[in-house]
Amino acid sequence: MKIILGHLAAVLLAGSVGAFGQARSVQALPELPLSVAIEQVGSYHPITGRQRLNWFVKSTVGPVSLTAGVFSAAISTATNNPREYGPHWEGFGKRYGMRLTGISTGNAMEAGLGSLWGEDPRYFRAAGEPLKERVKSIIVMTFAARRADGNLAPAYARYLGTAGNNFLSNTWRPDSQSSVSDACIRTLLGFAGRMGSNAFAEFWPDARKYIFRRK
């Protein structure tokens, strides 16, 4: 349980910090409140191929995402998980590389497969809505995504990318983390991290106004 909680903390931290880059990438796009998504689909602009590639790059190797990997690898090294890597700098490097491999594989699957049916991987803020609606948006957009017509639908590419990369990585992970149950836990943590990422993208712009406002 201690190891699982350590992983959860790492994923939530990585997802939350990684969302900073994602939040910046959608600032110029329309912010459609979840409660009026259907009514305002006409103002939604489908993601372009270039925007999809930009989302992949920033979410995978953007400076914020790479920095998040440092925190994730540091927590895993401190708890010596997996134990095969050891609690030293070499182990830290292996954990950092393992995370980057999983992130890149999952993002590539989500972006690539999603392009086949117009699934938009970006998160759209519900700015200006009541807190309840904003929290609802965070949760719903963890499992749903916009299609080319602006309507929400199950994020199938995200499901495949999150589960696919975690089960695929069993082939190169150490024995202590390569079971089916391990892959299932990592998949759940992946969605927890996505929810944390959405929460950061939703509320960070508001918090930033207070933190960095001119006196």
As a whole number of angstroms, the distance between CA 46 and CA 175 comes to 42
Q: What's the distance, Cα to Cα, between the start and end of the chain in Å?
A: 46
Half-sphere exposure in the Cβ direction for 92 (13 Å, CA): 9
Q: Does the pLDDT at position 180 exceed 70? A: yes
* Tens of pLDDT, residues 8-18: 444 434 443 44
Q: Does the pLDDT at position 66 exceed 90? A: no
DSSP structure string for 93-132:
HHHHHHHHHHHHHHHHHHHHHHHHTT-B------TTS-HH
Who has greater pLDDT, 58 or 112? 112
CA distances from 209 to 2, 73, 205, 212 (A): 36, 30, 7, 6
Provide the total of helices (H) and of strands (E) in the chain, helices listed first. 7, 2
Q: Tell me which residue range forms the domain holding 158.
A: 2-211
Question: If you average pLDDT over residues 160-180, what whole number do you get?
Answer: 94
The structure's pTM equals 0.76
Q: Look at 149-153, 162-166, 206-210 and tell me which has the smallest mean pLDDT.
A: 206-210
Mean pLDDT across the chain? 82
Who has greater pLDDT, 214 or 63? 63
Number of domains the chain is built from: 1
Look at residue 25 in the predicted model and tell me its pLDDT.
36
